[in-house]
Amino acid sequence: MHIHILGICGTFMGGVALLARAAGHTVTGCDANVYPPMSTQLEEQGIALTEGFDPAQLDLVPDVFVVGNAISRGNPLLEEILDRGLPYVSGPQWLADHVLAGRWVLGVAGTHGKTTTTSLLAWILEDAGLNPGFLVGGVPQNFGLSARLTDSPFFVIEADEYDTAFCDKRSKFVHYRPRTLILNNLEFDHADIFADLAAIETQFHHLVRTLPRTGRIIANGAEPALQRVIERGCWSELEWFNAVRGWSASVGGCDAEAVFALDGVELGRVELAMAGRHNRENALAAIAAARHVGVTPAQAIASLARFEGIKRRLEVRGVVRGVTVYDDFAHHPTAIALTVEGLRRREPEGRILAVLEPRSNTMKLGVMKAQLPVSLADADRVYCYTRGLGWDAAGALAPLGSNAVCHEDLDALVADVVRQAQAGDHVLVMSNGGFGGVHQKLLEALVEG
């Protein structure tokens, strides 16, 4: 089968491309404004990319067009597909029909931590010899790819609540039919498609409805929204973490050491590559989910010591003149706060210079602007890139006083950061996009400075 993917450089659709290629299909695709790491992965796998959405791509004559959720009505290629009555399908539906069908799917859902927890779970299963397939919204360092297809019955997938496609406004995860499901947390997000938190809870309950009776849900008991979701009805096995009983994680002799327990009985402890409470909980959920497919907690905990982290999750991009530049995907206020906290605990010495691009659709709308000062309070200095924002970032960050500055020009922002940076500082860049290559710009400017 020849599939042509519209929006191929998104993390999810790029993963679909890799899986389709591994399954023996001919894969081509198109996108605009491509950037690493996905563009690099696709090129390395020999998948041909076309820049833009020119209807001339119909001359490729694929068997089906697979449409990503970033593609909207008005897109010239999509409009021509519709006018000619050509076959098309959403990415999640194609994945469900051609990859996930017949497999034991382990899904990881939640507002935060999906990529990290999915990567941890895939690695635990890999280290246990189960050779899982996976699709992650990032690149786990242990694998070097965001997606992999194997002959194993197990498939680990990041289960995203964002909508499926222009023609299907259900959350992507309702297509996956998991047998094991992690519900990590649940907050309001994606203000461009959800009216409120209740609307997202409804989608999460749609997901819960798809699990079989022999399936198992691992849910965060500290999240009121998840409790409300489960109270609507649950027909599968249910285990809680962060509750009065059930799975728990605590800090050990140092912040990097995590201690895991079940019903108050210690299962083991390990130093994690990623610091912070949220990462201990991500690891805990992965341990609990792995047990459902036969990996003992002791074995899973041992595997965690060999986990190498994920690209764009506090990834060190370089050190110049004693200044360390990091890349992180954080774009929701809660994720921003946890990222800053995690870096502070891991690197207690030196200042944190936070460089933020409010790029997600929710952030561009300004829905969460009032939460930003609190989420960035632990940073020593904040630089916000304001190009394309429809709200007053300077006003929103005013509670931080002179510690926060805004720039509409990227080069001016880079120059300001480099002018202030000194040996021992940690420059924490946070964005869910390419951010104009700011990481390399910073490193080069630091060399010149």
The pLDDT of residue 172 is above 90? yes
The pLDDT of residue 254 is above 90? no
Distance CA 178, CA 296 (A): 20
**Per-residue tokens: 414:** 């880079």
Determine the average pLDDT of the residues in 259-265: 95
The pLDDT of residue 419 is above 80? yes
Contact 37, 55 (CB under 8 A): no
Percent of the chain with pLDDT over 90: 73
Model confidence at 35, pLDDT cuts 50, 70, 90, reads: low
Domain positions in the chain:
2-92, 102-304, 315-448
Query: Taking the domain 2-92, which CATH number applies?
Result: 3.40.50.720
* pLDDT for 251: 86
Query: What are residue 244's phi and psi, to 5 degrees?
Result: -60, -45
* pLDDT for 342: 83
Q: What is the pLDDT of residues 87-104, one digit of tens each?
A: 999 999 999 999 999 999
Determine the average pLDDT of the residues in 356-368: 79
Strand partners for 406: 384
Distance CA 426, CA 10 (A): 28
Q: Find all residues with CB under 8 Å of 202, minimum gap 6, and list them.
A: none
Distance CA 430, CA 427 (A): 10
Task: Give the burial class of 213: count Cβ atoms within 10 A of its Cβ; 0-12 exposed, 13-18 middle, 19 or more buried.
Answer: exposed
CATH 3.40.1190.10 fits 102-304, yes or no: yes
Distance CA 399, CA 380 (A): 13
Q: What is the pLDDT of residues 54-73, one digit of tens each?
A: 999 999 999 999 999 999 99
Candidates 55, 62, 65; CA nearest to 89 is 65
Distance CA 17, CA 409 (A): 35
The pLDDT of residue 242 is above 70? yes
Which CATH code, of 3.30.565.10, 3.90.190.20, 3.40.50.150, 2.60.40.1180, is assigned to 315-448?
3.90.190.20
